[in-house]
Structure 1
Amino acid sequence: MPLDDALTARMADSGFWAAYLFEDDAAEPEFDEEDAESFSAEFQVAEGLGLVLELDVATGYFDLALTAPELPEPVTVGWDDQAHFHPHTMRWSELDLLARAVALRDPQLRHPGPMLALLARFVVLDEQDDPDAITPLMDAALRMVRPGPLSGLRPETRDWFELRDLRGCGLRWTATDHGCLAVEQPDLDSTTHDLYSLRAPGSADFPFAAWAALLDQAEQALVRATGAASLQTPAMRDALSRCDTDEGHAHLEPLAAALQTADWVHPVLVRALTEPVSREESCWAVETLAGLPRGSLVRRRYGPSRMAGAQSWELCLTIATERRPAERARLLISELHDALKQEGLGRAEITGSEMARRGESGSLMDVSASADVLIRDDLPRGLSLISQILRRHDAADTAELRYASPPRASVPIP
């Protein structure tokens, strides 16, 4: 069983996803070495070939490993924590492919669903990734596993997309001798986000041959699921083509009826059309049955994603604390975070403080506190809110605001 009863029960708890996604308001887990909260989830594409996710919720450490018949033991392909992470393991297209293949093998793992929600943290996005084809699937996966908005862009989806978005950061994918792509970031000096991946060209730590086999077996699983000759009849192709439109969801019932008369169609695909948990689930089923490019129907069915035109600005805020208690700066930043979050404008997080020797004794004292600030979509409104809170705390005259990206230009505080 890929998700055992203990993990399934834990995922249903309201605090699990806040902790797993490193959300700012996640409760601090009570860590007890004798009763560590750790789980394991397996996602098999073929016998002995798949991915294993180890979750240590208490410490916030999550490890993804690849299993293959030729490997003596699972090999780590990525990990994520809040310290020395290397989460950039796979492309979105690879995760989508693997999740479809696993859903065909294990009916309990519907797609989009738990696998996508759990493993999306190991994706790296680049210029080839289209938000229109991606965000509806992520929204649907999160709706299945976590209570929240029933429509529209999920906050978790936006957080994830921005965190894994390395478009414009100079990623370069090159083919290895095993037919598997490797990724690198040649120019580190001119990028806003760094790549952290074991999948570098020439890396001895990444199992390129086994990863290529994993993807190949996933592709073959989809081919086998649609190999029935009856899927090629004129009547069936006509039924499929009617579903391949903007209003295709209205034609799912006739397609499902036609599939009932076919000599054999994979039951998971039939269920996705007759009893879909979400419209996104029926989309991937139609794409698979009709041989459409993955994500093409999702893109057409849902239209432009809010992430397609979304903007965000990463800022660094420095607050002088030399003549006032450092606790006041922490309270200010906490208040700023709450205000930004309430207005849907972003977030703020304290990152540290600077100390210097002052006075005749030369004792160390805090002279400033710093925070990372994220403003989304409306920079002037976000700056206005920052200004209001700084002035409320009588800190605007000594505060400094800069862009986080080079050349780290100063930002005037209104």
Structure 2
Amino acid sequence: MPLPEPLSARLADPRFWAAYHFREDLLDDLCEGRQEVLDDDGLLFPDLEDCEVVVEVTDDHALVLALDVDTGYFDLAVRTGDPSEDRTLGWDDQAHWHPHVFRPEELDLVCRAAALRDPGLPHPGPLLALLARFAFAVDGDDVEAFARRLDASFAALRPRTAGESSAAGEPEPYWPDSTEWTESRDLRGAGVMWVTDPSGDAFPQEAAAPLDGPELYSLRVRPESYGKSKDTGEEGDGFPHAAVREMLTRCRSALEIRPAVREFARLAPLVSEADDGDDVTVLLEQQERALLAIARPVSEAEAALLATCFGPDGCYGLGYTLVHLIETAPFPPAVAEPPEDAYPWHRIWRNYQHAQERRSAAD
């Protein structure tokens, strides 16, 4: 599901990001001296009132981000069926916030899985920029790597004029970067660690004697301490550990690419660019072995990668015989029959097949 149009339009507006990150001082500067058009209720972002973003992550899991930018309230939930049964993962405001939901690597995983399903949500891009407030780092997390991806996300959304010098008397242009995230979401050195219980549920836990530094505010607590029975394992109204665990597991499966598939993708351009001859035969024999190993994609990432091997042109010859390999891709290339000699795969694979037939006949 694409981002709501009003939100998409606001992603290039520095005022939106100043408000989204609770930078009221910057927001005042950005609006100073301008004739802002407010609605009857005095809202700067009336088009984003009660805005909801629904992002499909797996076939059975979606993340739901509810935004009310003017009031400064942002809620993240997981949906596994009926929207009326959405389960809150965390929220962020300036009163009683509980925004600590995902490890950086978990949020990166979710965003990559969503990008596979929706080309309108490239990664790094808008989803990571919007959801970063719900990720936090503890000792052992690769903060620098996550910060680079977050910077790339903001850079991808930045309008061309955002980095230009402002005119005399105008407020300095503002654009967010990872600094705001690290200043508020870096809990390294604060005595917070991740614990995994026997059922596989992971949750952050503070040291018995809290250390100096940012405090943990999370609904993702030990299951039996908040809404999950020790005896039955059934969840009550607390954090939806089972749904999150399954969502993350399926995201990993969707993004897994087996070595044989990577090998096939590596060889594909070599064969299509080569001329007929012994070298091509060797490459095709290597690919034939790879094909026997992959048979059919087992993940969305594999299907998407295989689709790129054939491109948007007619997939005849080898491409046509393997079209079943890419039929599970979210956006498979179109298939149209070309002339017999129009596509290198067709000629090369036909020659290889003929050679195989001759060898078989000779045997």
TM-score by length of 1: 0.53
Find out whether 1:132 has 2:153 as its counterpart.
Answer: no
Once the two structures are TM-superposed, the CA of residue 172 in structure 1 deviates from its matched residue by 2.3
Match in the other structure for 2:184: 163
* Correspondences of 1:136-151 after superposition (within 5 Å): 136-147=148-159, 148=162
- Equivalent residue for 2:2? 2
**Does residue 123 of structure 1 match 2:144?**
no
Instruction: Kindly state the Cα deviation for residue 156 of structure 1 after the two structures are TM-superposed.
Output: 2.7
Paired residue for 1:407?
none
Counterpart of 1:25, as a letter, is: L
Rounded Cα–Cα distance in structure 2 between residues aligned with 1:235 and 1:133: 26
Q: Does 1:41 align with 2:53?
A: yes
**TM superposition shift of 1:217:** 1.1
Which digits, 9 at most, give the CA deviation of each residue in 1:156-211, with x for residues without a partner? 31121121010011112111344120112133543221100001113221000000
The answer to whether the 8 A contact 1:230-1:236 is kept is no
Give the partner amino acid of 2:251. Answer: A
Q: Deviations over 1:137-165 (max 9, x none)?
A: 11100011234559xxx863112112101
**Which residue identity is paired with 2:187?**
L
Paired with 1:131 and 1:80, the residues of 2 have a C-alpha distance of 21
Structure 1 residues not aligned, in runs of 5+: 240-258, 275-414
Which residue of the partner structure matches residue 245 of structure 2?
Answer: 212
Q: Distance in 1 between matches of 2:74 and 2:139?
A: 27
Instruction: Give the deviation of 1:44 after TM superposition.
Output: 1.1
Alignment partner of 2:177: what SS?
helix
Amino acid at match of 1:8: S
Report the equivalent of 2:121. 109
1:198 to 197, 219, 223: 219
| Cα distance change on mapping 1:107 and 1:37 into 2, 3 Å | same
SS in 2 for 1:58: coil
User: Structure 1 residue 231 and structure 2 residue 262: aligned?
Assistant: yes
Q: Secondary structure at the match of 2:57?
A: strand
Deviations 1:279-310 (A, max 9, x none): xxxxxxxxxxxxxxxxxxxxxxxxxxxxxxxx
Aligned pair partner of 2:87 in 75, 80, 90: 75
Q: Which runs of 5+ in 2 are unaligned?
A: 165-174, 228-237, 271-286, 292-296, 312-363
CA distances 1:259-282 after superposition (whole Å, capped 9, x unpaired):
9xx9885447987xx9xxxxxxxx
Give the conservation status (yes or no) of the 8 Å contact 2:191–2:206.
yes
**Partners of 1:100 and 1:111 within 8 A in 2:** yes
- Richer in helix (by share): 2
Distance, in Å, in 2 between the alignment partners of 1:47 and 1:230 is 23
Aligned length: 248
| 1:176 aligned residue (197, 222, 225) | 197
1:12 aligns with 2:12: yes
User: Which amino acid in 1 is paired with 2:7?
Assistant: L
> Of 186, 206, 211, which residue of structure 2 is paired with 1:185?
206
Change (3 A) 1:178 1:25: same
The 3 A distance-change label for structure 1 pair 18 and 233 is same
Task: Give per-residue Cα distances to partners, 1:227-272, cap 9 Å, x unaligned.
Answer: 5944235954999xxxxxxxxxxxxxxxxxxx9xx9885447987x
Q: Cα gap change, 1:235/1:210 in structure 2, threshold over 3 Å: closer, same or farther?
A: closer
Provide closer, same or farther for how the CA distance between residues 90 and 107 of structure 1 changes in structure 2, counting only shifts above 3 A: same
Q: What amino acid is aligned across from residue 213 of structure 1 in structure 2?
A: E
Identity of aligned residues (%): 41
Seen in structure 2, the aligned counterparts of structure 1 residues 128 and 3 have a Cα distance that, compared at 3 Å, is same
Matched, 1:55 2:67: yes
Partner residue, 1:91? 103
Which amino acid in structure 1 is aligned with residue 16 of structure 2? F
- Aligned equivalents of 1:236, 1:3: Cα separation in 2: 37
State the AA in 2 paired with 1:211.
V
In structure 1, what is the Cα distance between the partners aligned to 2:154 and 2:148? 10
Contact 1:112/1:141 (8 A) holds in 2: yes
Tell me if the contact between 1:188 and 1:194 (Cα under 8 Å) persists in the aligned partners.
no
Instruction: Tell me the distance in 1 between the aligned counterparts of 2:133 and 2:306.
Output: 26
Matches of 1:113 and 1:18, distance apart in 2: 18
The structure that has the greater radius of gyration is 2
Q: Structure 1 residues 146, 38: CA separation in 2 closer, same or farther (over 3 Å shift)?
A: farther
d(CA) in 2 for partners of 1:269, 1:125: 35
- Read off the aligned partner of 1:55 and give its amino acid letter: L
Match of residue 286 from structure 1? none
Give the conservation status (yes or no) of the 8 Å contact 1:51–1:64.
yes
Residue deviations 1:338-358 (CA, integer Å, cap 9, x gap): xxxxxxxxxxxxxxxxxxxxx
